[in-house]
């Protein structure tokens, strides 16, 4: 496996619980922003 | 997916700013405002642009994708058994939306209407959308129950294959000349509380100008017209509650108009071929009065056309050694066992 494949496999295995809380919050804000734009 | 879970799912989406429309079985129950049967999943119509965000939201809630049929559908299931089936649409100017099927066809959702699940107000697919969504495939028992529910609640007329059958029926009683069609038809009709003996020959005789002997090759267009008219008349009587026996030369090549009319009119259709041996057929046919067709050549040709009926062979009754009464009794018995039923429009 190359280093890039290693990193990709690691990222693919992540869940929200593995991420820093502020990153998760930013993701949720981004999601709400998308849904808000769709609903508008 | 129970009502509480369905409401929780809708609440989850609304907290994120998205109001989904309820489709499928829950959509039917939302329209009538009460749960009438269990539902395996919750079908939701959402804007196409919201799919990645909604997918992310459900995955964060613990759902997993179990069926990715995008762009037409995306199904997700939670380990606790909850399942949602997302139907993405492109919003349209009428307030509805268009779903793109996997084969490229587009399906239009009308503007959603108000409904309720567990007392909570929801947006759900309209009655017209639900009815349109239920045609064009073999319905399940749930589909039939849902359509009956909508018809009962809203008084809507249901399309085939959901509507009630017409009270009457059409039995095509055919065979070569001399097979005994007219006598047996008369006996069959005598037994019925509301019976019509439709003499197909009469429909030919009513053509006063331009008539062509129907056994001649050049009569094809005329015969097609006449058969269409007979089929329409027979189904019309059946829709009025009569059991109709069509007595005439209606080979398998002319059955299609009857199948079409019967399907449109939701009428039970049967096909019976009386076929004695050639000797018997010829003797009976040529022994009639001057009004009848007594020439051997056309009789032989028509007999030949009924000789090998392919997939219609099971509809044949050999009347060689039978009296008309016996033939009628046998036909009645086999009708009761549905042995003469043609492809059922309700299937």
Q: Are residues B130 and B221 in the same domain?
A: no
Q: Are residues B175 and B265 in the same domain?
A: yes
What the block records as the tokens of B118 is 């567990």
Q: Are residues B206 and B276 in the same domain?
A: yes
Q: Are residues B9 and B62 in the same domain?
A: yes
Overall average pLDDT of the B117-145 stretch: 91
In this structure, of B94-103, B218-227, B298-307, the range with the lowest mean pLDDT score is: B298-307
CA distances (Å), B213 to each of B35, B200, B222, B285, in order? 62, 14, 9, 17
Give residue-wise pLDDT tens across range B35-73.
999 999 999 999 999 999 999 999 999 999 999 999 999
Domain count, chain B: 2
- Whether the per-residue pLDDT at B76 is higher than 70: the answer is yes
Distance from CA of A32 to the nearest CA of B (A): 6
- Whether the per-residue pLDDT at B290 is higher than 80: the answer is no
Among B19, B49, B53, beta carbon nearest to A31: B53
In this prediction, residue B347 has a pLDDT band, given cuts at 50, 70 and 90, of: very low
Whether residue B89 is contained in a domain is answered as yes
- Among B297, B198, B310, which Cα is nearest to B251's? B310
Chain B CB contacts of A14 under 8 Å are none
Q: Is B177 helix (H, G, I), strand (E, B) or coil?
A: coil
Interface test with A, best of B46, B50, B58, B86 (most A CBs within 10 A): B50
In this prediction, residue B121 has a pLDDT band, given cuts at 50, 70 and 90, of: very high
Q: Are residues B8 and B51 in the same domain?
A: yes
Whether residue B164 is contained in a domain is answered as no
| B65 touching chain A per CB within 8 A | no
- Whether the per-residue pLDDT at B14 is higher than 70: the answer is yes
Overall average pLDDT of the A15-21 stretch: 85
Distance from CA of A3 to the nearest CA of B (A): 27
Cross-chain Cβ contact B50/A38 below 8 Å = yes
Whether residue B31 is contained in a domain is answered as yes
> What is the DSSP code string of B254-283?
G-HHHHHHHHHHT-EEEEEEE---HHHHHH
**B109 and B99 Cβ atoms separated by less than 8 Å:** yes
| B50 touching chain A per CB within 8 A | yes
The whole domain housing B52 covers 3-154
Residues 6+ apart with CB under 8 A from B86: B44, B46, B51, B54, B55, B73, B74, B75, B76
Give residue-wise pLDDT tens across range B190-201.
989 899 999 999
Whether residue B347 is contained in a domain is answered as no
- Whether the per-residue pLDDT at B22 is higher than 70: the answer is yes
Task: Report the share of chain B in percent with pLDDT over 90.
Answer: 71
Q: What is the mean pLDDT of chain B?
A: 91
Whether residue B109 is contained in a domain is answered as yes
Overall average pLDDT of the B209-217 stretch: 90
Q: Which residues pair with B46 in a beta bridge?
A: B88
Q: Are residues B179 and B131 in the same domain?
A: no
Q: Which of B124, B154, B184 is the last residue of a domain?
A: B154
Q: Are residues B85 and B144 in the same domain?
A: yes
**B197 and B186 Cβ atoms separated by less than 8 Å:** yes
Overall average pLDDT of the B282-289 stretch: 77
Residue entry with tokens 């109001």: B19
In this structure, of B104-108, B133-137, B189-193, B270-274, the range with the lowest mean pLDDT score is: B133-137
User: % helix / strand / coil in chain A, to the nearest 5?
Assistant: 80, 0, 20
Of residues B19 and B102, the one with the higher pLDDT is: B19
What the block records as the tokens of B344 is 């059922």
Query: What is the sign of the dihedral through the CA atoms of B68, B71, B73 and B78?
Result: positive
- Whether the per-residue pLDDT at B291 is higher than 70: the answer is no
Distance, CA of B112 to CA of B97 (rounded, Å)? 9
Give residue-wise pLDDT tens across range B167-189.
799 999 999 988 999 999 999 99
> What pLDDT shows up at residue B126?
96
- Whether the per-residue pLDDT at B163 is higher than 80: the answer is no
Whole-structure pTM over 0.80, yes or no? no
Task: Please report, for the domain that includes residue B94, its CATH number.
Answer: 3.30.460.40
User: Residue B317: in which H helix or E strand, if any?
Assistant: strand B316-317
Q: Which of B122, B154, B186 is the last residue of a domain?
A: B154
> What pLDDT shows up at residue B250?
93
Q: Are residues B78 and B201 in the same domain?
A: no
| A4 touching chain B per CB within 8 A | no
- Whether the per-residue pLDDT at A16 is higher than 90: the answer is no
Overall average pLDDT of the B8-25 stretch: 95
Overall average pLDDT of the B242-255 stretch: 93
Q: Are residues B182 and B318 in the same domain?
A: yes
């Amino acid at each position: 496996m190359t280093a890039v494949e290693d990193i990709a496999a690691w990222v693919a295995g992540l869940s929200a619980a593995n991420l820093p809380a502020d990153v998760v919050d930013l993701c949720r804000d981004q999601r709400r922003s998308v849904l808000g734009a769709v609903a508008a | 997916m129970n009502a509480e879970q369905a409401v929780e799912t809708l609440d989850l989406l609304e907290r994120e700013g998205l109001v989904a429309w309820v489709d499928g079985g829950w959509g039917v129950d939302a329209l009538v405002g009460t749960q009438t049967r269990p539902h395996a999943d919750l079908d939701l119509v959402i804007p196409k642009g919201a799919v990645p965000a909604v997918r992310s939201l459900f995955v964060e809630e613990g759902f997993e994708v179990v069926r990715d049929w995008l762009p037409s559908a995306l199904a997700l299931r939670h380990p606790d058994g909850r399942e949602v089936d997302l139907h993405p649409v492109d919003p349209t100017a009428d307030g509805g939306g268009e779903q793109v099927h996997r084969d490229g066809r587009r399906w239009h959702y009308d503007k959603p209407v108000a409904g309720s699940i567990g007392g909570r107000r929801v947006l759900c697919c309209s009655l017209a959308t639900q009815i349109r969504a239920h045609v064009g495939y073999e319905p399940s028992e749930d589909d039939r129950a849902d359509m009956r529910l909508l018809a009962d609640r809203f008084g809507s007329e249901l399309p085939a294959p959901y509507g009630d059958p017409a009270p009457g029926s059409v039995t095509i009683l055919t065979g070569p000349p001399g097979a005994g069609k007219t006598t047996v038809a008369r006996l069959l009709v005598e037994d019925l509380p509301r019976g019509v003996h439709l003499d197909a020959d009469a429909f030919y005789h009513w053509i006063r100008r331009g008539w062509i002997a129907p056994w001649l090759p050049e009569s094809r267009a005329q015969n097609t017209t006449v058969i269409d008219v007979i089929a329409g008349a027979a189904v019309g009587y059946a829709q009025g509650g009569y059991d109709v026996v069509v007595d005439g030369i209606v080979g398998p090549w002319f059955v299609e108009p009857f199948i079409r009319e019967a399907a449109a009119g939701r009428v039970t259709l049967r096909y019976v071929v009386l076929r004695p041996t050639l000797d018997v057929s010829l003797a009976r046919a040529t022994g009639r009065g001057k009004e009848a067709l007594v020439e051997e050549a056309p009789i032989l040709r028509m007999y030949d056309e009924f000789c090998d009926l392919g997939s219609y062979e099971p509809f044949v009754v050999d009347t060689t050694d039978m009296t008309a009464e016996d033939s009628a009794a046998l036909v009645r018995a086999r009708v009761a066992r549905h042995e003469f039923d043609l492809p059922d429009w309700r299937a």
